[in-house]
Amino acid sequence: MTTKLWDGRFAEKTDELVEKFTSSIDIDKNLYSYDIQGSIAHCKMLAKQLIISDKEAEQIIKGLLEIKEEIESGNFKYNDKLEDIHMHIEARLIEKIGETAKKLHTARSRNDQVVLDVRIYLKEKTAFIIEDIIKLQKALVKFAKEHVNTIMPGYTHMQRAQPVLFAHHIMAYYEMFGRDIERFQDSLKRTDVMPLGAAALAGTTYPIDRDYTAELLNFSNVSSNSIDTVADRDFIIEFLSCASICMIHLSRISEEFILWSGAEFGFIELPDAFTTGSSIMPQKKNPDICELVRGKTGRVFGDLICMLTVMKGLPLAYDRDMQEDKEPLFDAVNTLSLCIKIYTNMLPKIKVNKDMMKKAASVGFLNATDLADYLASKGMPFRTAHNCAGKAVSYALKNKKELDQLTLEELQSFSSLIKKDVFEALELEQMIEKRISDGSTSYKNVFYAIDSAGKKNEKEQNE
Q: Is 386 a catalytic residue?
A: no
The residues, ordered by sequence, that sit 6+ positions from 350 with a Cβ below 8 Å of its Cβ are 143, 257, 268, 269, 270, 271
How far is residue 291 from each of residues 71, 253, 371, measured CA to CA in Å? 36, 10, 39
**24 is a site residue for ligand ARG (CB under 6 A):** yes
Q: How far is the CB of 223 from ligand ARG (least distance, A)?
A: 16
Q: What's the min distance (Å) between Cβ of 201 and ligand ARG?
A: 10
Q: How many CB atoms lie within 10 A of CB 84?
A: 23
Rank residues 110 and 435 by Cβ distance to ligand ARG and give the closer one. Answer: 110
Distance CA 343, CA 200 (A): 43
For ligand ARG (CB under 6 A), the number of binding residues is: 10
Binding mask 101-140 for ligand ARG (x = CB under 6 A): ---------xx--x--------------------------
Closest CB to ligand ARG among residues 23, 137: 23
104 versus 388: smaller Cβ distance to ligand ARG: 104
Interaction between residue 229 and ligand ARG (CB under 6 A):
no
Question: How near is the Cβ of 113 to ligand ARG at its closest, in Å?
Answer: 7
Q: Which residues pair with 153 in a beta bridge?
A: 163
Query: Min. distance of Cβ 231 from ligand ARG in angstroms?
Result: 12
- CA distances 230 to 199, 200, 203, 314, 318, Å, are 8, 7, 10, 12, 6
We find the least distance from the C-beta atom of residue 321 to ligand ARG, in angstroms, to be 9
Cα(211)–Cα(289) distance, rounded to whole angstroms? 46
* Smallest gap from residue 320 Cβ to ligand ARG (A): 6
Catalytic residue among 278, 377, 394, 452: 278
Residue ranges of the alpha helices (H) in 363-434?
Answer: 368-377, 382-398, 408-412, 422-425, 428-433
Q: Which of 56, 84, 112, 132 binds ligand ARG (CB under 6 A)?
A: 84
**Burial letters for 332-354: b for 16+ Cβ neighbours within 10 Å, e otherwise?**
bbebbeebbebbbbbbeebebbe
Which residues in 387-446 contact ligand ARG (CB under 6 A)?
Answer: none
CA–CA dist 74, 29 (Å, integer): 12
Q: How far apart are the first and last CA of the chain?
A: 47
CA distances, 424 to each of 164, 312, 420, 434 (Å): 17, 61, 8, 11
Q: How far apart are CA 267 and CA 299, in angstroms?
A: 29
> Regarding beta strands 221-222 and 159-165, do their DSSP bridges make them parallel or antiparallel, or are they unpaired?
unpaired
- Provide the 3-class DSSP secondary structure of residue 154: strand
Shortest distance, position 117 Cβ to ligand ARG, whole Å = 9
CB of residue 57 vs ligand ARG: minimum separation in angstroms?
24
Q: How far is CA 321 from the centre of its chain?
A: 26
- Which of 33, 42, 73, 157 is the catalytic position? 157
93 interacts with ligand ARG by CB under 6 A: no
Provide the minimum distance between the beta carbon of 318 and ligand ARG in the complex, in angstroms, as a whole number. 6
User: What are the backbone angles phi and psi of residue 155, rounded to the nearest 5°?
Assistant: -120, 145
Nearer to ligand ARG, 171 or 329 (CB): 329
Buried b (16+ CB within 10 A) or exposed e, 319-331: eeebbbbbbbbbb
Instruction: Please identify, among the stretches 34-42, 182-190, 320-328, 429-437, the one whose residues bind ligand ARG according to the rule CB under 6 A.
Output: 320-328
- The angle at the Cα of 257, spanning 254 to 262, to the nearest 5 degrees, equals 130
Report the residue from 137, 187, 261, 323 that binds ligand ARG according to the rule CB under 6 A: 323
Task: From residue 373, give the alpha-carbon distance in Å to each of 149, 250, 440.
Answer: 24, 35, 16
Near ligand ARG by CB under 6 A: residue from 193, 290, 307, 322: 322
Nearer to ligand ARG, 201 or 217 (CB): 201
Q: Which is nearer to ligand ARG, 88 or 296 (CB)?
A: 88
- 451: part of which helix (H) or strand (E)? helix 443-462
Q: Would you say 57 or 306 has its CB closer to ligand ARG?
A: 306
Nearer to ligand ARG among residue 256 and residue 325 (C-beta) = 325
Is 452 catalytic? The answer is no
**279 to 318: interface string for ligand ARG, x by CB under 6 A:** ---------------------------------------x
Residue 66 or 327: which CB sits closer to ligand ARG? 327
Binding interface with ligand ARG (CB under 6 A): 24, 28, 84, 110-111, 114, 318, 320, 322-323
Residues designated as active site: 157, 278
